[in-house]
Chain A
Amino acid sequence: MKTVILFWNALLNEILKTKNAYLFVISLAVAFFIPAIYFVHYIIDYERVIPKPGVNPWGKFFFSQFSMTPLLYSLFVIVVTSYLVQMEHKSSALKMIFAMPMPKWALYFSKQVVILCVVFVTYLIFFGLILCSGYLLSAINAEYAFHLYKPDFKLMSKVFLSSFATVFGVIALQYWISFKIKNFLIPLGIGLIMVIIGIIIFRSSRFAPFFLYGYNISNLTAINPANPNTFEWLSSFSVYSLWYFLVIGIVGYFNVSKSAVK
Chain B
Amino acid sequence: MLVNIIETHELCYSYTAQKNEIKNLSLQVPKGSVFGFLGSNGSGKTTTIKLLLGLLKSSSGQIEIFKDDIKHHKLKILDRTGSLIESPSLYNHLNALDHLKLVARYKGKAYTNSKLEEFLEIVNLHREKMKKTSAFSMGMKQRLGVAMALIGNPELLILDEPINGLDPVGIIEMRNLIKKLNSQLGVTVFISSHILSEIEKTCTHLGVIRSGEILYQGTLADFKNISQQNIPVEFEISETEKAIALVEKRGFSAKISDTNTLLINFNNKEHISSVIDALRQENLHIYQIINRKDMESLFIELTQQ
Contact = CB atoms under 8 A, between A and B. Distances in A.
Contacts of A260: 50, 55-57
A9 interface: yes
Contacts of A98: 54-55
A21 B93 contact: yes
Contacts of A99: 53-55, 78, 81, 83, 85
Interface residues on B, range: 20 to 34
A10 B106 contact: yes
B246 interface: no
A6 interface: yes
A93 B50 CA distance: 14
A100 B76 CA distance: 10
A250 interface: no
Interface residues of A, number: 29
B89 A93 contact: yes
A17 to B, nearest CB: 6
A5 interface: yes
A10 B105 CA distance: 7
Contacts of A94: 89
A101 B83 CA distance: 12
B108 interface: yes
A103 interface: yes
A36 interface: no
A262 B105 contact: no
A87 B53 contact: no
Contacts of A12: 105
Interface in B33-59: 50, 53-57
Nearest to B109: A9
Interface stretch (B22-30, B94-102, B122-130, B237-245): B94-102
Contacts of A10: 105-106
A96 B85 contact: yes
Contacts of A13: 101-102, 105-106
A20 interface: yes
A97 interface: yes
B91 A87 contact: yes
Interface in B49-81: 50, 53-57, 75-76, 78-79, 81
B269 interface: no
B102 A91 contact: no
A43 interface: no
A6 B93 contact: no
A19 interface: yes
Contacts of B102: 13, 16-17
Contacts of B183: none
Nearest to A95: B85
Nearest to B15: A262
A91 B85 CA distance: 13
Contacts of A4: none
B151 to A, nearest CB: 10
A101 B79 contact: yes
Interface in A1-39: 5-6, 9-10, 12-13, 16-17, 19-21
A101 B91 contact: no
Nearest to B110: A9
B113 to A, nearest CB: 13
Contacts of B93: 19-21
21 contacts: A9-B105, A9-B108, A13-B105, A16-B98, A16-B101, A16-B102, A17-B94, A19-B93, A19-B94, A19-B98, A21-B93, A91-B91, A92-B89, A93-B91, A98-B54, A99-B55, A100-B107, A101-B78, A101-B106, A102-B75, A103-B75
Interface of A: 5-6, 9-10, 12-13, 16-17, 19-21, 87, 90-103, 260-262
Q: Which 9 A-B pairs have the closest CB atoms?
A: A96-B89, A100-B106, A101-B79, A93-B89, A261-B55, A101-B78, A9-B105, A99-B53, A101-B75
Given A9-B106, A9-B108, A13-B105, 13 more contacts: A6-B108, A19-B93, A87-B91, A91-B92, A93-B91, A95-B89, A99-B53, A99-B78, A100-B103, A101-B78, A102-B75, A102-B106, A262-B50
